[in-house]
Amino acid sequence: MTDSSDHGTAGTVGFIGFGAMASRMGRNLEASGYQIVAYTPSGKGGDGTTRFLPSPRQLAEASGGTVILCVPDDEALASAAYGPDGALAGMAAGTLLINTSSVSPEASLALAEAAGERGIAALDAPVSGSTPEAEAGTLVVLVGGEVEVVARAQPIFDIIGQTTIHAGPAGCGSKLKLVINGIMGVGLAAVAEGFCYGVAAGLDRDMLFEALDSVAVISPHHKRKLKAARAGDFRPQFPTRLMQKDMRLLLDAAARVAAPVPTMATTTQLLSLTRRGHANDDYSALFAVLESMVANTP
């Protein structure tokens, strides 16, 4: 994370959506000299000290030329961006719109086109990482858009993340995000299924967790999920409803280009099952779902 002395008083940034990820990004920007204003449909979020505006348009008008969108899905993006009270209506030509939301590539392309018609520079810039990385300013920012616009946004990216990857033109950040989250989801499902077999086969539960935490084939991210599953602590770092949504977007995007993703399709079904009972819990609750099935087997 960049030190605040590198920026001084850096201006005002407006956040549309100010939940667990955005509020942490906002705090890091504040620590680096930016002022933050925000909009959420409920008018609530963050730590209670941020100024909230009553509509996306008013938020955009109050921002200092940069608006960051951080909403959960395509529908929320459309509601926040378009129409007489949407963000685009309140942004002037020459301002910057950074869309960090995990949405479909088509939604990102449509937003970039609509922004371009108004002379607004737009980037799709979803992030890889969960709330711990957002808090530490160590996210990986996955950017789609023009090189010059990426350079303009780089001071912000350097604060909220440790790495910026320019994936290509508009929509490519969203495509790369689906690739990464698809691999992440499949990885968790594989670990959870292997654990489930071990329990069913009579291996000691604690020994299994310790063994899996020790081997190199499991990523640090998934080892963090193992620790949560062992403790039964599914407080959301990445809620199941959002992970399942990203997998659904991936399946749709893959079907559009006839890319075979059968393993990811199966994982989506497992996450749909998990979402039924654990929508707002961390997606590592898949461990609990599978373990309960084994425990209930005669």
pLDDT (tens digit per residue) in 35-76? 999 999 876 655 568 999 999 999 999 998 999 999 999 999
Q: What's CA 15's distance to the chain center, in Å?
A: 14
Instruction: Say what percent of the chain tops pLDDT 70.
Output: 94
Contact 69, 77 (CB under 8 A): yes
* pLDDT (tens digit per residue) in 227-276: 999 999 999 999 999 999 999 999 999 999 999 999 999 999 999 999 99
Quick count: other Cβ atoms within 10 Å of Cβ 296? 7
7: its two tokens:
């920026």
> What local confidence, expressed as pLDDT, does residue 18 receive?
96
Q: Can you tell me whether residue 44 is helix, strand or coil? A: coil
- How far apart CA 51 and CA 267 sit, in angstroms, is 40
Residues 275-297: what's their mean pLDDT?
A: 92
Query: Across all residues in the chain, what is the average pLDDT?
Result: 94
Distance of CA 197 to the CA centre of its chain: 31
3-state secondary structure of 149: helix
In this structure, are residues 84 and 163 in contact, taking their beta carbons and an 8 Å threshold? Answer: no
Q: Do domains 4-168 and 176-295 have the same CATH topology?
A: no
Residue numbers annotated as active site: 177
pLDDT tens digit string along 98-139?
999 999 999 999 999 999 999 999 999 999 999 999 999 999
Residue spans of the domains in the chain: they are 4-168, 176-295
Give the pLDDT band of residue 296 (cuts 50, 70, 90): low
Cα dihedral 224, 230, 236, 238 sign: positive
- Helix (H) or strand (E) holding 155, with range, is helix 147-160
Domain 176-295 sits in which CATH superfamily?
N-(1-d-carboxylethyl)-l-norvaline Dehydrogenase; domain 2 (1.10.1040.10)
CB 114 within 8 A of CB 88: yes
Q: Which residue has the higher pLDDT, 159 or 41?
A: 159
- Please give the model's pTM, rounded to 2 decimal places: 0.92
Q: Return the CATH architecture of domain 4-168.
A: 3-Layer(aba) Sandwich (3.40)
Helix (H, G, I), strand (E, B) or coil at 121: strand
Question: Is the distance from CB of 10 to CB of 155 less than 8 angstroms?
Answer: yes
Question: How many contiguous H segments (helices) and E segments (strands) does the chain have?
Answer: 13, 9
3-state class (DSSP) for residue 204 = coil
Do residues 124 and 113 make contact, with C-beta atoms less than 8 angstroms apart?
no
pLDDT of the residue at 297? 63
Rounded to whole angstroms, how far apart are CA atoms 186 and 61? 42
Bridge partners of 123? 98
The enclosing H or E element of 18 equals none
| H or E segment and range at residue 283 | none
The helix/strand/coil state of 143 is strand
Bridge partner list, 161: 139
| Dihedrals phi, psi of 34, to nearest 5 degrees | -85, 150
Instruction: Give the confidence band of 141 by pLDDT, cuts at 50, 70, 90.
Output: very high
Question: In degrees rounded to 5, what are phi and psi of residue 270?
Answer: -65, -40
| Mean pLDDT of the 25-38 span | 96
